[in-house]
Structure 1
Amino acid sequence: MSEDEANAAAAPAEGKNWRRKGKHDKPKPWDEDPNIDRWKIDKFDPAWNEGGMLEVSSFSTLFPQYREKYLQEAWPVVKGALKEYGISCELNLVEGSMTVSTTRKTRDPFAIIKARELIKLLSRSVPAPQAIKILDDEMNCDIIKIGGLVRNKERFVKRRERLLGPNLSTLKAIEILTGCYILVQGNTVAAMGNYRGRGLKQTKEKKPYTPFPPPQQPSKIDLELENGEYFMSDKKKSAKKWQEKLDKQSGRAEENKRKREAAFVPPKENTAGPSKSDKNASDNSEIADIAKSLKRKAKEFRKNEAQESVIAESYIASNDELRQKKKKKSTKSK
């Protein structure tokens, strides 16, 4: 192979753009568009998958024996709900299992995943009407295992009761706070709700890019060289530390003494005289006192006038009146 051929082969290799991770991770113009709702889930249209499923997918789960009677009663409701999505379901009481599988009528590929979550919720004692809500695209669920969080069984039971609260009050408060349906059963907790409103992670603020690294911090030896302590003997170093400690203690003692003495300092007296508001208040009180005294004097004056205008003759009976009274008495006695 000649040198010209080797150079020709190496030329395209040098000019080739090698792949780099995050090469295309650049801000797009639609990333900050307020009109776009990124939480919205479009409803599935059967026209998107007219051919149906190519293979049969099935999932099964076991359920405890105490759920057998309830599942047997509620199974027609579950079967009718899954039939709308083209999913077949089977309840096997001998093995104690529930099975869901796709059919030729299944159009939504994600419907089988929702059906699997449905039978999981039914096996964990979630009521059928509540569990059927998981078939909605906006609804999601999670089964949290809490059995292995505490080693001691008695302590685990007490903490689980504390989570429920008296008359399930604590559990209801958690449901209102999170906006989710929560059911505690055995060693698991079933939660149903929407991802919207979930606690978002704290985004780290992007700092301006600086191509130069930060300056190196001085070490302990560098600081001692600057202060001159590096060349001091151990005895002088200990004496200096002791002196610094005494200075700090004396400073704290003075500050504490100042705080204690501040409680005995009398407040400043107002030597500038009464303020305008105090003067106005005193003037108003004087006016009110004058008005009261005038009213009292007016009442006394009216009483005196009434006493002076009294005529004694109006209270003394005349001779004619006495004669009439005597005649009336004589007629009554007859």
Structure 2
Amino acid sequence: MVKLLSRGVPIQQAKRILEDDTVCDVIKIGGLVRNKDRFVRRRQRLLGPQGATLKALELLTGCYMLVQGNTVCVIGSYAGLKSVRKVVTDCMNNIHPIYNIKTLMVKRELMKNPELANQSWDRFLPKFKKVNVKRKKVAKKQKTPYTPFPPPPPESKVDKSLTSGEYFLGEKEKEKVRREAKSKKQKEIKFQREEKRQKLFEPPKEFKVTTDKIQQPNQEVDIIALKKKMKKNKLGNYKKISN
């Protein structure tokens, strides 16, 4: 009882250990996972969103659970402690508690049926397949060949001015060079802007339509054949009206 109280269990639950049928278990989970971030995430799985997973485990096993720090304190019956320890160790070994909760729910329903008391429950229990999640492949960095000589140091401003010859110029000459470079850059920018403006005033390209059905003006038209067709059409319309 003192051990449970020292681990943060409330006194109302710690008093239950004095009863004959109630036992406790302190499951140490700190050494099961080496990575700290991974350990925190897997410990959070036992609690679930707003403590839903922890409440489900307490209802199914009939035990009180307290997840705190590197330990999990459990108070309940022997059978309940055994199932809780399995769920906790599986969760730390990257098996989600929901799978064990489903099996516990099926077992709870099977226990109500007295005919299945002496039979094997393997055919009723759910079987979960292991799924390998595809992860992104990290591109390996190409190793540069080893050279005993260090890389050359970057050139300073003094070195650059020495190579260009500005170091030996006077202040007035240096100022003149800067102005020329600045004016040259401004002229280039101005030229680019003018080119963009001129593109807006360029007319669009005209597409020539070439069709064989359009009659050319130079082609000769048969006037006699057209007159015969007109007469036939007039006679046909007159016959229809008279009928």
TM-score normalised to structure 1 length = 0.33
- Of structures 1 and 2, the larger Rg is shown by 1
- Considering Cα pairs closer than 8 Å and 6+ residues apart, tell me whether 1 or 2 has the greater RCO: 2
- State the TM-score, normalizing by the size of structure 2: 0.42
